[in-house]
Structure 1
Amino acid sequence: MAADIKKLERKGLNNKRTAELMVELLNGACGLVFNAPLDMMIEQRIRERLPDLRYNQLCSLTQLANEAESISTNKDTRELTPGRILRVNDALNGAMALWLSDFSGGIGDFVQSYRKFDAFPVAQKIYQHFQARNKGKLDPGDEYLLVDEFAEMLGVRDWYQWIDDPGVAPQPAREQAAATDSHPQGTTNPALLRSMAMASTMYLLAALERFEKLPATKVKQIALEISVLGMSGLDYSSPEKKYRLNAIPGEEFSALEVMCLMHAGLRQVEPEMDTGMDLDEPFSTAKKLHTARLKFRLSRSGIVL
């Protein structure tokens, strides 16, 4: 993580933009995990049921494949993307390229650009798994099992969670409680929070730099306001900036940002308090980065700690 952060700093990104970029990249990778198996199955069904559209379909798929290849091979994109996320993207785009090569009857080489990537053997395994599963009978809804199977092969099953469709009939209270216990949602999902550790680190670093200019009473005011806000739940799986704080007028924050503000604030004014959030590890990293930056600024001013 530290190496990825330093790499982004060298690119001139500030703490907040680095955190936002990490959330965007993580959401993009999760979206690819979800869409890759579904898209392959949907396109096959379109060809089976609407064969007259096959030429239009191939044109569309070729264009999408070219766009994916352009992004996947872009030097700047690859330099900015953390290695683990890059591996997921390369493996899934490679698997879809293998699928399209077969699906199109070999009219184009969609795979060549992916062969040079370290994740290509994983791409081959994922596509082989898809082929094996596709030979059998897949009942409605089984495509979502494929999403989980792809994620397991990539080691990212803890990056997302399934939640009930809000349109389903309400469950009896006992069943609903059991489902909630076994499938944590929103801010009660520590695995999801851990998967966003890099973004959390940068938001925590930004919070520490904000708080170094404020008195302890103001820091406590911010932390307490967020703790009250959090009583109604904070969905940090969403990057949407929809939270406003009276203590910080004129700014809007995502759920993860306000959680990091609260955690950093309480660690300063109430260090023994349990915040209930699994942010201590990224906070420790953020503190080290903050201390290093502070020493650097002071050394440039001729002050030695």
Structure 2
Amino acid sequence: MIRRRRLRASENLRALVRETSVSASDLIYPVFVIEGKDIKNPIDSMPGIYQYSIDRLDEELDRIREAGVKGVLLFGIPAHKDECGTEAYNEHGIIQEAIRYIKKVFPELVVIADICLCEYTSHGHCGVIKDGIILNDETLPLLAKTAVTCAQAGADMVAPSNMMDGHVAAIREALDEAGYEMTPIMAYSAKMASGYYGPFRDAAHSAPGFGDRKTYQMDYHNPREAMRDIQDDIDEGADIIIIKPALAFLDILKTASWETDMPLCAYNVSGEYSMVKAAAANGWIDEKKIVMENMIGMKRAGAQMIITYHALDVANWLKEE
């Protein structure tokens, strides 16, 4: 008789033969920075997550340092929005100043700047609009300028999330011309038009003012199209590939791990986080067990790194083991 249970008989035996693991160094923690002073706004739909003004960032940075998380993904919330999202590429905008501050007080932290216009436009879309149409090519120079100003501020990496065609190539060219050829691009290559983003849009004040984002974010029915988008971004110069959301698209992540040797990142998005938090608050699930199972599921599917709002909790739980 084959007895698989022999190697499951104790925790130490199970740990000895374990095939997949997660560590604090695999995790990237999203941080929302809002313009103003003395602000720490709770996000009702994302328990435990806050918007911070720069002068209150130290308390969050202290938690990140203590947990041992190595990277953050920054989202900026400006005081002023307009049709073209000019605060996104303002050299002294909220995201650029947040990068400067973090690199000053916590230089070893890997700071990744989200590159998009949606938080900065009055209409909430990710590009320039004319007659109700999101213009692709006219948006590219603005995204490129945003990436350069973030690199100039000290960002270690840029993460374009806008899903415009050709955006990675435009950003790569602009960074290289500005002397930032060593700044990596973490591309949201397979970013689905998903219902899982609702809580994030509360946090980033980025809900579209009309329509939806289905003309530029991916149709989640199409796994082969996802592979084409991933390959396009690789060809244009992406250094890391993001699959977003994570849990409903582990098949995309697994296929990408087979078809490319590029580093892969799973984005465990706001809706996934909030569902776990809501169920845990009601006593329906064991939060730690579910979160860790989700983390391992993403790693098992092929992710080398995970962007997650659970990052600090996971890192602290790992210390207890």
Q: TM-score under structure 1 normalisation?
A: 0.31
Higher helix share: 1
Higher strand share: 2
Q: TM-score under structure 2 normalisation?
A: 0.30
